[in-house]
Structure 1
Amino acid sequence: MRNEGFRTLFPMEDIAVMGIWELLPHLNKIRIRLKQTVEAARLFQPHVVVTVDSKGFSFRFLKQLKARYAWKDDSPVHVHYVTPSFWAWKGGETRLKGLCEFIDHILCILPFEEEICRLNGLSATYVGHPLLEDDLNLDQELTPFSHKRKFKGNGDDFLHKHGLLRGSPLITLLPGSRLQEVTRMLPLFLRTVEQMKDAFPELSIVIPVAPNYHVETYIEKEIQQWSLSVLTILIPGASTYEKYDAFSASNAAVCTSGSAVMELQLVGLPCVIAYRAHLLTEWLIRLRTKLQFISLPNILLDSPIIPEYLFGECTSNNLASVLRKLILDDSARQQQIASAEQLFDLLCRPLCGVMSSNCCCPSLIAASAILQAQRQQ
């Protein structure tokens, strides 16, 4: 959005907070930012309001904005991008019914969400996962997406640029994009690396850093303090190309659960999922979730294809053990690569009919749905 000329009202890090206990210190700042956003939208007088994910902030914003236009005929159309994961929580579909009071249309990124939204009285369109767009853009072609991923990154260029040999093990570390999760996960990942050093003397690691000043500063400082005996490559504010080149050059990855898991699937890089939170947050997740898995590939394929180590099981011993297996066991690697093909086939298949028209990628499908919602207002 910044590339297209949008300017943010405030640093997004101010509201990028997940969890229960973790949220408490930020409540006042979030309340101030919410009030600021509502006032900015009111002054701007938009025809359409598009909120993206972050349902805790976005839904409060839409409710307050709706209240401002309660007695007016020129209320903007409210479109929310990314269906809240109602399917993951007990009683989630019951909460879905109430969204039609302040949301006019939802853009879904998972194939099964559109029908469930409509059954609960919500206008919705399946636009496709944004990673489908990544694959199309990186091919630099405006043609309908094929689940047979043609772009795999340029691993050889990455190795040459950083003076690495093709046969030397390289592991990608993805500790997250929010400071609170990075401070929790990065030390664990670094302990994992230290445990692997004896088995892989030539081991190197690469850390693509999210475009977040606080995260970048913390990671640089942490790496210096640890004084790791392995070659460590940091890629601050990594672009899409840089990330995929690093993934392509790597043998395996350890990843905090999130959208980065899907990026690894796009390249076909075997990985292990790791996640820790505050004890209160972990307890509430166990209490409320109705899913067996936390990562989207495992959820969609309904199979533990990607190893997940969560909460108390998320230890450096467990992570080091599975990473060693992913590096040495070709059958384990091939199983994950094959599942990635199945995953993108599952995401792409419902779009085939739409993409045969002028709307040939998720962003254009989304734009068309937004314009249609505005015309129908």
Structure 2
Amino acid sequence: MLLAAIRCTKIKSSICLKSPSRRYLWVSSRFVTDRAAKEEELRIFIVAGEVSGDTIGSRLMASLKKLSPVPIRFSGVGGSMMSKQGLKSLFPMDNIAVMGIWELLPHLYNFRVKLKETVEAAFMFHPHVVVTVDSKGFSFRLLKQLRGCQSKGLAATFVGHPILEDVLELNMGKEIALHEWKITGNGEDFRKTYAIPSGATVITLLPGSRLQEVTRMLPIFSNTMKLLKDSFPELVTVIHVAPNQLVDNFITRAIHKWPVPAILIPGGIPHLKYDAFNASRVALCTSGTVAMELQLARLPCLVTYRAHFLTEWVIRYKAKIPYISLPNILLDSPVIPEALFQACTPTKLASSLKELMNNTVLQQQQVVAAEKVMELICPSNRTVNNLQQQGMRWRPPIYTPSMIAASTILSYAQR
């Protein structure tokens, strides 16, 4: 779902970055930098409610600081990545990182308290721009309370998917041809660093970034590995740990009872993540941004998800799309196998992983599909042309979604 923009009395403009298939930037004011110049600073109120949003938000903040003609001051809600860019979060981002229907109920009072706190802080900050990244439940309510939504005079620009940032960062900003949008990590180096035997089968596990999903998915992954260890005697699992202290603590405790050798990889280190992907035969992941990262690495995977049974019931009977992973949604095809809800059991996961590991045709189908997905998530020619018409020199640093988003905010403001 695409979040719209609003304009209100004290909040001069607002934008939202969110879509299940693409990232868009909405801007509702063309006079942001003019007003900011008069006040000698650009005030941006930005809110992210999950790890992936924290990464997107931090990159946007860094890009805005590079391009803005006036000093920028930030306020809002974010995580560790956004704090490195100068945001002092109103409260820990984990307070609003709740996903689901039934899962939200125990946190409803706290959710409302944090929403009120955020709205009040936004008005006190007198921002020129309000930005929300993902977390649509919180973002919708925040924007609604910042005095209504209007669609007149809005402009939309597709800025590309955030994972494209990884490609350019790991290629040191070099210009990348469309067919080269991929990351090939150093799997051999990774195996040597972690003393993985040459004949061992490595499986990458990505249990999620929120504590609620990790506590639900990690035990399922553990029992799946228990079923696979007899079929693959030298089985090694690489568990990717999101940059979330609660998640880190939970996984660290759980690993003591892990059925096979395991290596924990800290989040937030792109080259290490893709080295691990390259060393792996397949991946087992919880649905999320990681499915796109695995496509970027061309690593065949199985996407999974479990939730509270009431949440699952609502999704099963109310969802209007047949797939949950973004690559499948984009291609409108079940290229990546999905094991969802009641079908997400250790027995079924073990069976699906064995089939994927032993079937080169299935593996190749995912690799071919990944190239099509990359084409769909790249910035459009229209976006490129618009920026060129605005006098921007088109070069690799500008070619990232965050730089396009930042330049779009500022260029619309200067018109």
Give me the TM-score of the superposition, normalised by structure 1: 0.81
Query: Quick check: 2:207–2:240 contact (8 Å CA) kept in 1?
Result: no
Residue type at the aligned position of 2:188: D
User: 2: distance between equivalents of 1:122 and 1:289?
Assistant: 28
Question: Structure 1 pair 144/42, CA: closer, same or farther in 2 (3 Å)?
Answer: farther
Aligned equivalents of 2:258, 2:290: Cα separation in 1: 26
Contact 1:139 1:150 (8 Å CA) reproduced: no
The residue type paired with residue 369 of structure 1 is T
Partner of 1:215: 247
Q: Which residue identity does 2:276 align to in structure 1?
A: A
Q: Which residue of 1 aligns with 2:348?
A: 318
Offset of residue 65 of structure 1: 2.3
1:281-360 matches, within 5 Å, as 281-348=311-378, 350-351=380-381, 354=384, 357-358=393-394, 359-360=398-399
Counterpart secondary structure, 1:7: coil
How far apart, CA to CA, are the structure 2 residues paired with 1:133 and 1:351? 18
Name the amino acid aligned to 1:64.
Q
Shift of 1:195: 0.2
Q: Which residue number in structure 2 is paired with residue 58 of structure 1?
A: 139
Q: 2:226 aligns with which of 164, 174, 194?
A: 194
1:125 Cα deviation after fit: 1.2
The question of 1:44 aligning with 2:125 is answered yes
Contact kept, 8 Å, 2:158 with 2:379, in 1: the verdict is no
Measure the CA separation in 1 of the matches of 2:258 and 2:327. Answer: 34
| Helix, strand or coil at the partner of 1:130 | coil
Distance across 2 between alignment mates of 1:45 and 1:122 = 21
Deviation at 1:174, TM superposition (A): 0.8
After TM superposition, the structure 1 = structure 2 runs for residues 10-21 of structure 1, keeping only pairs within 5 Å, are 10-21=91-102
342-351 or 307-316: bigger deviation = 342-351
Residue number among 161, 169, 173 corresponding to 1:129 in the alignment: 161
Alpha-carbon displacement from aligned partner over 1:64-89 (angstroms, at most 9, x marks no partner): 2237xxxxxxxxxxxxxxxxxxxxxx
**8 Å contact from structure 1 (residues 274, 308) kept in 2:** yes
Q: Which runs of 5+ in 1 are unaligned?
A: 68-99, 105-120
1-side partners of 2:258 and 2:136: how far apart? 39
Aligned-pair identity (%): 55
80, 88, 108: which one pairs with 1:27? Answer: 108
RMSD: 2.0
Q: 1:7 aligns with which of 88, 91, 101?
A: 88
Task: Please give the alpha-carbon distance, in whole angstroms, between the structure 1 residues aligned to 2:177 and 2:111.
Answer: 38
Partner of 2:290: 260
Q: Which residue of 2 aligns with 1:182?
A: 214
- Give per-residue Cα distances to partners, 1:279-319, cap 9 Å, x unaligned: 11011111211211111101111111100011111111111
Alignment check: 8 A CA contact 1:205 1:231 kept? yes
Contact 2:298/2:367 (8 A) holds in 1: yes
Matching residue within 250, 269, 272 for 2:302: 272
In 1, are the aligned partners of 2:203 and 2:238 still within 8 Å (CA)?
Answer: yes
Alignment check: 8 A CA contact 1:210 1:236 kept: yes
Is the contact between residue 242 and residue 267 of structure 2 (CA under 8 Å) also seen in structure 1?
Answer: yes
Instruction: Give the deviation of 1:150 after TM superposition.
Output: 4.7
Instruction: Report what 1:78 is aligned to.
Output: none
2:146 is paired with a residue whose SS is: helix
**When the two structures are superposed, what TM-score results if normalisation uses the length of structure 2?**
0.74
Match of 2:202 in 1: 170
Specify the alignment match of 2:408 in structure 1.
369
C-alpha spacing 1:42/1:354, structure 2 compared with 1 (3 Å): same
Structure 1 counterpart SS, 2:109: helix
Aligned to 1:72: none
Name the CA shift for 1:353/1:280 in 2 (closer, same or farther; >3 Å).
closer
Q: Give ranges in structure 2 of 5+ residues lacking alignment.
A: 1-57, 59-81
- 1:310–1:4 CA distance, 2 compared to 1 (3 A): same
Give the counterpart letter for 1:16 in structure 2: A
1:138-189 CA-partner distances (Å, limit 9, x unpaired) = 1112535624235211211111110013431100111111111111111001
Work out whether residues 208 and 234 of structure 1, in 8 Å CA contact, stay in contact via their aligned partners in 2.
yes
Matches within 5 A, 1:88-99: none
Aligned 8 A contact 1:298 1:306 in 2? yes
Amino acid at match of 1:346: L
Match of 1:152 among 184, 201, 204: 184
- Could you list the runs of 4 or more consecutive aligned residues of structure 1 that deviate by over 4 angstroms after TM superposition? none
